[in-house]
Amino acid sequence: MNSLLRNGVILELILFTVLEFCWGQNSGIESVNLNAERENQIWKAVNSNKTINIPATVPGGIYTDLEKSGLLSTPIYYRFNDLETRWVAKENWTFSRSFNVTSDLLSKSRIGLVCHGLDTVSEIFVNDVSVGTSDNMFVRYIFSIKDFLKLGNNTIDIKFQSPVEYAQKAWEKQSSDYPVLPRCVPANYNGECHANHIRKMQASFAWDWGPAYPSSGIYKDIYIEGFNGALVRDSLLFITSNVSRPSYTRATTWNVTAQVYLEVADPYEPGTIRLEVSTKNGSVVFEQDVILTENQVVLNISVNVTGDQVNLWWPNGYGKQPLYTVQVLYTSNNYGETSLKSMEAGFRFVELVQEDIDFTDVEKGLTFYFRVNGWPIYAKGSNTIPIHVLPERVTQEMTEWLMESAKEANMNMLRIWGGGIYESDNLYSLADKYGIMIWQDFMFACSMYPANTEFLESVKKEVDTQVKRLHYHPSIVLWATNNENEAALRGNWYGTFLNYSRFAADYIKLYIDTIKTEVNKLDPSRECLPSSPSNGLETEDEGWIAKNPYSNLYGDVHYYNYLADGWKWSIYPRTRFASEYGFQSWPYQHTLYSVIDKDQDAYWNSTMMNHRQHHPLGQAEMRLQMQLHLPFPRDHKDTSTFETMLYLAQVTQSMAVKAETEFYRRLKGLLYSSGEGLNMGALYWQLNDIWPGASWASIESNGRWKMLHYYARNFFAPVILSPFINQKGEVEVYTISDSKDRIQALLRVRLFQLDSLTPLKDYEILIDVDPVASAQVLLIPILFFEECENSVSICLLYFTMFNVPDNFLFLTYPKERAVIQNPNIRIEEITSVETATNGSTFAVKLSTEAIAPFVFLNNQRNDITGWFSDNGFVMVNPIQTVYFQSKNYLPIDEFKEGLEIVSLHDVIDL
């Protein structure tokens, strides 16, 4: 069901967030936490022939267990360990432990084993009796085990099949005349084959930015619970308003309806269901007596909340994110048991607006943007991949740092990419807190997939589990059924044209008839896109597989071009919404030195570097971008140029993504005669790294910001200046605003040659910046640059405006060694600054004698978490102070000791 139809009819619903169900919140219900380690009751992991028998951690995974036991090289990402440990994924592993059962637990009429994360294909035994199987990493399984328990000591064994062998056998079992393609990932990935045949993190079989570690284990909570009455298993919540159209004005009344899913042990047992919503002034409560007549019951219970009792939830940069507690409580009258689901709610309107650009000419396409509480929102952000290839390695601190970094970079949207995992509850709760909208893919990416009955049933359970788990978060604004599979099918990426009609029928059966249908049933308040990229409503009109899924007139587009000039805006598509785009780089050298051998591996095309570069031709493409724009080392294969090459790769990545993003933001207010333009979203690929290696990320796997992330903070700022050279050779400057306020300020433009800190021209103009607008404010004539025409130096324009990030524009690329002067950059002093934060803040005072392009500061230590106030900048003033904010306390001597600084001049003699 579409929340916004082509004729403009809007289904207006509002959603809010709920904390994941916790069995410990219940009263009178007996439980056994199988995560806990007790004497003689710890988990053990054993391989098939029992030659390995080691302690296991739950939640956890087999790679971590083996590493802790000293059976794998440490650290796990060091050099070629991803190949040397490949045997682990080809073993069957059994996880076992004993546990105690009391008479109180045995007395309960229903006892279930609840498994939130079994990775992946397993059979579960209690006291040597099979109680069920699993085949999907993303499904919550509940097995009835009362009949198999005994008083006192009991055993549980979970026997996992090798994910690699299971996928291989599934490939072999399929019909030979209709293989589900592709047969394998590209050889450069150094991965395993047939990930599309197992419902597991697809990237765990390797991707073009990460290694293959197809793990086995219990990666989420597992516990036993017994009860006599009923349990609240899930609760979908819907809020409707009495206003006819979404508006930033407060609604008069909200209706809050909880659709409560109860598991019933004693049908016809009387009980009470209670819904309570906290507000600014207290709480609103409704309570109802019920008699539960079946084993599985769905109840609807509602309350009304007046509009003045709550404030609206806004995306980052548009307002605050108030959250309100919502509780659903079931009380058993006969047994005195209670089952509680506690929730944090955020009230907001969200629409995905797909309307005709021109009602008189439908060939010009449809809009594609998000409107929140009546405001058009320009989506600014990135795409996330799994934080670690082994889910158990992801800590709360890692997730918090990632989300805090996104917020600090002025992002308001993240796309959870479809080849990884549905993220932790912690990530979505932080998105709620920080106002980061979530575009949520389902976990299908870059492949065709089976569509047999068994596979579709498993997928249906997956959708049911994840939508019920995540539905409540106000941050989630969109579902998408897959990543790039519509484009892959239509574009014949894997040879699907040989049997196109069969692949197309199965595509629709999986994504439309199963996933989208199930999502629409459970969550009719959000749009569910058929794919990404996709033409949205136009894709639906074309029978769910568009002739051109990359159309600039509809939906979202993924765009990559590594062979053209990445700093040139004119190569990029005039798309409605850019949901993927980017360029590669490498991490900072000291990040790499933690996982490579500095003596053997530290040169550009070493065996180790090529092993870490999973993208075909990736090293050559990065080298091309460097040679187009910057001084290039004379011998890039030499170890002495290694750190230079890493630095240049980060510069070219940052500048290319900057050019592309600013182009998309300028398109916000531009409509071409073709119908192209009116861009309302820029989500670059990608936010985070899964390991230290070549990737498109702006944040390294240890949390360090790359140069790109500093650039992102500037090009995603609420108001930016965006200069560029138009096709006539003139310089245009746009002001782009996502602010709700009108701004009036002086724009200063300075023209420099790189050999002098004294500007050739210095010009100021008073400008008005309209709210939520993109507008050209200045056209600089060619005569402005007459001093540069016959100069041997490079000219640079530098733009400043109060409370807006500085910006710059090279009139020609700084690729000639002779024109780059030695700036003699020095750190004059470093002082500690008192702040209200818990961490440490240091002021770093820099001096320069000449224009210094791409000044980049870093600390050699990999355990320091923090960011600079600016980095990768062009230094045009003789003195400049930047600040470093450490998240945790850091002695100033430790910060000073590891501080490094580099600029473009430092590479020209190499």
C-alpha span between 910 and 300 (Å, rounded): 71
Name, in order, each residue with C-beta under 8 angstroms of 554's C-beta and a sequence gap of 6 or more.
354, 365, 366, 368, 535, 536, 537, 538, 539, 546, 576
Concatenate the DSSP letters of all residues of 381-411 into one string.
EEEE--SSSSGGG--HHHHHHHHHHHHHTT-
C-alpha span between 812 and 865 (Å, rounded): 36
Q: How many residues appear in the chain?
A: 910
The stretches of 595-634 forming alpha helices (DSSP H) are 598-601, 607-612, 618-629
C-alpha span between 287 and 303 (Å, rounded): 9
How many CA atoms are closer than 13 Å to the CA of 283, on its beta-carbon side? 12
Active-site annotation, residues: 484, 580
Residue 635 Cα to chain centre, angstroms: 37
Beta-bridged to residue 292, according to DSSP, are 269
- Closest by CA position to 694, among listed 655, 659, 627, 645: 645
- HEC string of 857-873 equals EEECCCCCCEEECCCCE
C-alpha span between 870 and 873 (Å, rounded): 7
CB of 217 within 8 A of CB of 160? yes
- Cβ atoms within 10 Å of 877's Cβ, excluding its own: 12
Largest distance between two CA atoms of the chain? 93
What 3-state class would DSSP assign to 796? strand
What 3-state class would DSSP assign to 626? helix
Q: Decide the pairing of beta strands 743-753 and 379-384.
A: unpaired
Residue 368 has phi, psi (to 5 degrees) of -155, 95
